[in-house]
Homo-oligomer: A and B are copies of this chain.
Amino acid sequence: MTMDQVKYLLDESDIPQAWYNIAADLPVPLPPPLHPGTQQPLGPADLAPLFPMSLIEQEVSTERYIEIPRPVRDVYRQWRVTPLYRARRLEQALGTPAKIYYKYEGVSPSGSHKPNTAVAQAFFNSEAGVRRISTETGAGQWGSSLAFAGALFGIEVKVFMVRVSFDQKPYRKALMQAYGAECIASPSELTEAGRAILAADPASPGSLGIAISEAVEVAAKNDDTKYALGSVLNHVLLHQTVIGLEALKQLERAGDYPDIVIGCAGGGSNLAGIAFPFLGEQLRGGKKVRVIACEPAACPSLTRGKYAYDFGDTAHLTPLVKMHTLGSTFMPPGFHAGGLRYHGMAPLVSHLKELGLIEARALQQRGCFEAALQFARAEGILPAPESSHAVKGAVDEALRCKEEGQARTILLNLSGHGHFDMGAYTDYLSGKLEDRDYDAPAVARALEQIPAVGG
């Protein structure tokens, strides 16, 4: 027990007025998305069937700050500013000289960081008169968050949920339904993309790539329906920067600044959310930070993928974006951090990795669950399996500090709680959980199918 400060709160008036757009500070511009047919850079009109124009403008903007509309801030106020904690009890348990801070996004109504963008996307869609949105979800954090946001803004939400998570996490499905959304296991019979996958493999566990295809197809074929994505795209990462902007202020209040910023990475949005504001400081001449993306060893796009133009989905309905990819046809195995089971990585995160501004690390799931339990017993909060990758990354760095006798300051994004993921913890506690390497031959086959672009 310590009597020192452990929690750093801000006033509601400290909720950021604007999101931070790292495109304004990039030393090299982001390679543009390409039209899947012509392979020419996309224009705003190409995206209009899927997104309202306000979000398309954010997607391509190079303005440094983009104002958060008042109705979005009004909803943010319910759980933001989220707490920043000093993990003193974990530091003691590790015997490390490092200072570990964690930003806790699990206090949102759906228990993760996803409402930061779900609320924004639902607002901009409702402002554009949209009444229906289709989307995909992996672990269900995104789907339940968009369901929540849809309920607030009077938008019907249809969620294609990756089959393996649909079966592993029935409670996430129930949460979406409780918010009034429709939740469908993907691949489904409802779309051409789904039917094609099921024809080839009736027992397909699904993947985010497939679920994206289904949701995009529904939006493309229905004039009254738009599409929403929970990660990867620039505007999604933009909305998540409230996390890092708040953390910057909170650490200032604590009289501290991170040497290392850590997040888990599936599509890349929570990592971007915590890290981009700090990288922005650095790019504008401020202090250098090491940013570490922690990804699953079974789906290691940043550490084992190719940096290339590829499709965001399996059925090749999306634009081509330049990113680290394991190949859009790669089917990740069904490990427990379903939110990290994506073949690609956000173009902005990939670009920053190429520029040497982000490091990446692939982690096995058992080590992550072990770190998560150590965290829970010290700090009281049980991390989501996705977030446990960031916890493991932070524990490793803290132990390295101990070995090296260095008192570094570590900031980690605890993106969500694990209350919906107790089945995974039950498996881990009963010794049923196995580590899974990535399937190298399958990745090699998928990499071969990446389209040749430009030359």
In chain A, residues 402-450, which have Cβ atoms closer than 8 Å to a Cβ of chain B? 417, 419-420, 422-423, 425-426, 429
Q: Is A29 an interface residue (CB 8 A)?
A: no
In the bound complex, residues from chain B placing their C-beta under 8 Å from that of A38 are: none
Q: How far is the CA of A111 from the CA of B425 in the complex (A)?
A: 17
Question: Interface digits, A133-150 against B, CB 8 Å rule (1 contact, 0 not)?
Answer: 000000000000000100
Total copies of the chain = 2
Interchain CB contact under 8 A, A171 and B419 = yes
Q: How far is the CA of A2 from the CA of B77 in the complex (A)?
A: 12
Q: How far is the CA of A7 from the CA of B12 in the complex (A)?
A: 9
In the bound complex, residues from chain B placing their C-beta under 8 Å from that of A9 are: 9, 11-12
- Please pick, from B170, B376, B423, the residue contacting A426 in the complex, using a CB distance under 8 A: B170
Q: Is A257 an interface residue (CB 8 A)?
A: no
Interchain CB contact under 8 A, B175 and A419 = yes
In the bound complex, residues from chain B placing their C-beta under 8 Å from that of A107 are: 107
In the bound complex, residues from chain B placing their C-beta under 8 Å from that of A85 are: 78
In chain A, residues 361-404, which have Cβ atoms closer than 8 Å to a Cβ of chain B? 373, 376-382
- Please pick, from B174, B419, B422, the residue contacting A170 in the complex, using a CB distance under 8 A: B422
Residue on B with the closest CB to A71? B1
In chain A, residues 334-375, which have Cβ atoms closer than 8 Å to a Cβ of chain B? 373
Binding site for B on A (CB under 8 A): 1-3, 6-7, 9, 11-12, 70-71, 74-75, 77-78, 85, 89, 107, 109-111, 148, 151-153, 170-172, 174-175, 177-180, 373, 376-382, 417, 419-420, 422-423, 425-426, 429
Q: How far is the CA of A172 from the CA of B419 in the complex (A)?
A: 9
Interchain CB contact under 8 A, A2 and B74 = yes
Interchain CB contact under 8 A, B377 and A179 = yes
15 extra A-B contacts, CB within 8 A, seeds A3-B74, A172-B422, A174-B422: A1-B75, A6-B77, A7-B78, A109-B379, A151-B377, A152-B380, A170-B422, A170-B426, A174-B423, A174-B425, A175-B419, A177-B426, A177-B429, A178-B425, A179-B377
- Give chain B nearest CB distance to A309 CB in angstroms: 39
- Give chain B nearest CB distance to A183 CB in angstroms: 11
Interchain CB contact under 8 A, B419 and A380 = no
Interchain CB contact under 8 A, A382 and B175 = yes
Interchain CB contact under 8 A, A179 and B1 = no
- Give chain B nearest CB distance to A168 CB in angstroms: 12
- Give chain B nearest CB distance to A205 CB in angstroms: 22
- Give chain B nearest CB distance to A232 CB in angstroms: 25
- Give chain B nearest CB distance to A36 CB in angstroms: 37
Q: How far is the CA of A107 from the CA of B109 in the complex (A)?
A: 10
Among all A-B residue pairs, the 7 with the closest Cβ atoms: A171-B422, A109-B380, A174-B422, A419-B419, A151-B377, A1-B71, A174-B426
Q: How far is the CA of A373 from the CA of B151 in the complex (A)?
A: 11
- Give chain B nearest CB distance to A94 CB in angstroms: 15
- Give chain B nearest CB distance to A367 CB in angstroms: 16
